[in-house]
Structure 1
Amino acid sequence: PRRAGKRVRTRAAAAAALLFALAPGAAQAGPPFRTDDPIPTDTGHWELYGPLIEGSGTRSAFEGSAGAEINYGAAPNVQLTLGIPAAFAHDETGTTWGRGDLALSAKYRFYDDEASGVSVAVFPGLTLPTASGDLGGPNATVFLPVWAQKDAGPWSVFGGGGYTINPGRENRDYWSGGIAVSREVSERLLLGAEIDRQGADTVGGRATTELGVAMIVQLDGPFRLLASAGPSFTEGDGSPALHAFLALGADF
């Protein structure tokens, strides 16, 4: 969660959504949802998502990453996150694999009212230009979001967004964000849907809106399977692209 700059999983300018989901041990957003939440990893505990595969595009041209995401509860209300991806891109000339951009972020929940079920956090992130070839950006980018959540019994509404500093020739800074609603379905199953929007990140570029459905299946022990998919709509482009995410998660 939570990548800055040119991310396959983007945040977007506030929108609206429905989301049916969350299973015990995973009663928060983040993977596989593109919309984030303010809930940090428990203090002294780890969350690992890997192998993790995500991508977006059409059948003939798509790009994405494969790797791992690691979260650590460093202190009460503080989560540190490290994203270690390998990147890939496919077009009519073939498929290219290589290093991806390294992602670092820190979540701080500064408001948590158990009585009202409301939480708010900041989750600034830094993406470093470690990718090989053209599989990433040439400059470091910074994402500065605020995320909020409201819980009511088995339901949660969460979302927010922020501003990305995206330096570089022909690049531009942009706003992004999303909103979702979730519900616990059973002890082992989470289902969901959301909507996100990202402004244009290049000069002459266009904004993108994404819809998605998601699922979390609690497996034996600390493991769970996470998946999401949906269409992506670029302004002025009549044909939607697709985005997808698949990962194995573990808590310890």
Structure 2
Amino acid sequence: MRGRFSILRRWNIIVVTMLALTHSAFAGPPYVSDDPEPTDYKHFEIYTFSNGTATRGDIGGAAGVDFNYGAAPDLQLTATLPAGFDRPGLGRTSFGLSNIELAAKYRFLRQDSFGLDVSIFPRVFLPSGSANIGNNTASLLLPVWVQKDWSGGWSAFGGGGCVISGHASQNFCLTGGVVTYQLLPKLQLGAELFHQTADGNGTPASTSVGFGARYDLNETYHLLGYIRQGIENTNETDQFSWYASILFTF
């Protein structure tokens, strides 16, 4: 789903990327780090989103739809359909279909019995349909996500994994953590620390700090927002990033 933006810049995904703001603790998007809680059984979570990242001499991002369905208890199926853009400092802006994502989240440990929610959430990134947008080879993200909730409105989630690409030199790993607080009955705030190792495309390792918010208009409509800035190799990886979404839950 860095965070959903360095990855989003290289793979034009969403963390994920928030990482998905859903039911109960409402984790995942708008953050790059994801959460282990799947969509409720026989329910939908649909995000219409826009995101992007600016670096020295370039700005790129994506807009699209992220579909999530609770296919079984503790099992979520996901499909993300993004259209991307890239605007270099010198040259023409490119638009096109980015990397479609297919994923399945399975929670195998629960807080009520183990003390933590723990899930695996493998994602397949299909080759981009555009010459200058996304990545033209398939890749696979293999992460583990963990979450703990406390009384009083506090929650923490995070984890990480590695991306395996069609070109071994482009493999990289990522890790992140988020702390959220339910400030008001309809307003949740959060902060994230995220890190990604260098990949084979010439992008160095990056670390970033981000802040997110979710506001529940009602049980069906939710507003999500996120801003982030790099604190390591900032000019090359993340001068600033954004994520905005309307979430529909039913």
Is TM > 0.5 for Structure 1 vs Structure 2? yes
Return the match for 2:245 from 225, 247, 250. Answer: 247
| Matching residue of 2:156 | 157
1:67 aligned partner, one-letter code = G
Aligned-residue CA RMSD (Å)? 2.7
TM-score between the two structures when normalised by the length of structure 1: 0.86
Provide the residue aligned with 1:44 in structure 2. Answer: 42
1:52-100: per-residue Cα shift (whole Å, max 9, x none)? 1000014852111100101000000000111000010112323221111
Q: Secondary structure at the match of 1:74?
A: strand
Q: Is the 8 A contact 2:12 2:99 kept in 1?
A: no
Segments of 5+ residues of structure 2 without an aligned counterpart are none
Q: Which amino acid aligns with 1:118?
A: L
Structure 1 stretches of at least 4 aligned residues deviating more than 6 Å after TM superposition: 2-5
Determine which structure has greater relative contact order: mean sequence separation of CA pairs < 8 Å that are 6+ residues apart, divided by chain length.
Answer: 1
- Which residue in the other structure is 2:80 paired with? 83
State how 1:122-201 maps to structure 2 within 5 Å: 122-153=120-151, 154-168=153-167, 171-201=169-199
Counterpart of 2:51, as a letter, is E
Runs of 5+ consecutive residues of structure 1 not aligned to the other structure: 13-22
- TM-score, normalised to structure 2, is 0.87
Q: Which amino acid aligns with 2:77?
A: L
Q: Secondary structure of the equivalent of 1:94?
A: coil
Count, aligned residues? 241
State the shift of 1:122 in Å: 0.3
Kindly tell me: are residues 25 and 124 of structure 1, through their superposed partners in 2, closer, same or farther at Cα, counting changes over 3 Å?
A: closer
Q: Which has the higher helix share?
A: 2
Q: Which residue in 2 is equivalent to 1:16? A: none
Equivalent residues in 2 for 1:202-217 (5 A)? 202=200, 204-217=202-215
Q: What letter is aligned with 1:70?
A: F
**Percent of residue pairs bearing the same amino acid type:** 35
Does 2:54 align with 1:57?
yes
User: 3-state DSSP class of the match of 2:30?
Assistant: coil
Match of 1:7 in 2: 11
